[in-house]
Amino acid sequence: MSTINKLFKKRTDDPRLQFFRYIFVGGTAFAIDLSIYFTLVNYFDVHYLIAAIIAFLISVLGNYIMSTKWVFNQDKIDNKLVEFNLFILISTVGLIFTEILLYIFTDLLIINYLISKVIASILVLFWNFTARRLMFYGR
């Protein structure tokens, strides 16, 4: 029971445990993002790069809530508006990386847009985690 508490319930500043939790948060946000992305491209004929931006905007709010309450659960930043804006800034940089990678994989390397999205998301996950950890912990 204490292992479950440590993994899922107790506050922690252990980067390995935070990354473990972030995988769940990122996985949930990714499922939302990919579902919206797929739906927009396939059912609404939205260009894949535009669909990625729309899906990002919808999924980032859930990611923010889960990341701040469960993964990092730190009160380093007192002003929640500043915290949210920093989170959005980090996410926006991640979105720019995603857009560049999607273009490279899909248009230049001719990889299926869904496979490109999965690869780009995995690569950008490391940017997002590291930048958010630095934001909340300064290390």
Confirm whether 44 is domain-assigned. yes
74 contact partners, CB below 8 Å, separation of at least 6: 13, 136, 137
Ranges of the chain with pLDDT below 70:
1, 74-76, 138-139
Q: Domain span at residue 127?
A: 14-137
Q: What pLDDT score was predicted for residue 76?
A: 66
Confirm whether 131 is domain-assigned. yes
Q: What pLDDT score was predicted for residue 59?
A: 92
Q: What pLDDT score was predicted for residue 53?
A: 92
Confirm whether 7 is domain-assigned. no
Confirm whether 25 is domain-assigned. yes
Confirm whether 33 is domain-assigned. yes
Mean of the per-residue pLDDT values of the chain: 88
Confirm whether 1 is domain-assigned. no
pLDDT, tens only, 66-92: 888 888 776 667 788 888 898 899 999
139 contact partners, CB below 8 Å, separation of at least 6: 133
The two structure tokens encoding residue 102: 């999607």
70 contact partners, CB below 8 Å, separation of at least 6: 21, 25
Q: How many folded domains does the chain comprise?
A: 1
Q: What pLDDT score was predicted for residue 79?
A: 81
Q: What pLDDT score was predicted for residue 101?
A: 97
Q: What pLDDT score was predicted for residue 74?
A: 65
Confirm whether 29 is domain-assigned. yes
Q: What pLDDT score was predicted for residue 139?
A: 60
Confirm whether 90 is domain-assigned. yes
Helices (H), the chain: 2-4, 15-43, 48-66, 80-102, 113-137
**Phi/psi of residue 100, each to 5°?**
-65, -45
